[in-house]
Amino acid sequence: MTDSLQNLPHPLLAPVIELARLAGEVILPFWRANVTVTTKTDDSPVTAADLAAHQVLVEGLQALDPSIHVLSEEDADIPFSERAKWERWWLVDPLDGTKEFISGSEEFTVNVALIEHGRVVFGVVSMPTNNRCYFGGAGLGAWRSDDIDHLQPIAVRTQPGEGQTFTVVASRRHSSPEQEHLLAGLSSGLGHLQLTNIGSSLKFCLLAEGAADCYPRLAPTSQWDTAAAQGVLEGAGGEVLQLDGKPFSYPARESLLNPFFLALPANAEWRDKLLVLAQS
């Protein structure tokens, strides 16, 4: 256990937390302001806040270690032939949940993950509006910090406690027929469900701190949407699986879109039942 950023179990974790918080400070002046929204070629929105946070993060990460490449949502047009040579890189979403940000919601985050050979080493997910930060990685542990001087270790719950309902988290804005079919199957197979809709990477974080049980995503996401929060979840005792049961990873490939996935506690008793439902 650690109660200080200076005692964290990876030398790059504390400076990345500070960078993510700094990016959040850059975002906040644009929040609930009359911000101009531009549509990118993939029909997703981008604002000056996204771009300002991107600049802070890229410059800061390159200053930490120039040998580690950076792949950001706001500068993703790096040829596959170049990315295929990378062994370590930062996977960054400067403002995850741009639609939530534009709507005035607090449910947006700054996401930074360190990737080595396609696996998440650690991830940092920072909420600019309340200075809350989640961070962790497999074998490192996971924490939530509501202020810079207090770190709270977090862990998944293997099943709902007495009097608690099985809770599924889902996107506030994105679904699919496959996702709705799975939710119906979960309700039938596991009993009454509580469905919690929340934006950005916070869905993973609710699982990581034991406030929810499952996050199925049978709708499109990109690598920068998931990597940082996956690190947090894995550090808290969770896992992310492809629908075939294989671990979810980030190998170099042409497309930066993710396959469908399930996020859940690693030792959940209902794990196999969920996989069968997802595969159907």
Positions at the binding site for Mg(2+): 73, 93, 95-96, 225
Cα torsion angle, 95, 96, 99, 105, sign: negative
CB neighbours (10 Å) of residue 220?
A: 13
**Residue ranges of the alpha helices (H) in the chain?**
13-27, 48-64, 80-83, 98-103, 177-190, 202-208, 223-235, 271-279
SS3 call for 89: strand
CA–CA separation, 92 vs 192, rounded Å? 36
What are residue 248's phi and psi, to 5 degrees?
-85, 125
Q: Please spell the DSSP secondary structure of 97-148, one letter per residue.
A: -HHHHHHT-S--EEEEEEEETTEEEEEEEEETTTTEEEEEETTTEEEEEEET
Annotated binding-site residues read 73, 93, 95-98, 225
SS3 call for 81: helix
CA–CA separation, 194 vs 63, rounded Å? 44
Annotated binding-site residues for substrate read 73, 95-98, 225
Rg (CA), the chain: 18
The residue among 203, 272, 207, 265 whose CA lies nearest residue 239 is: 265
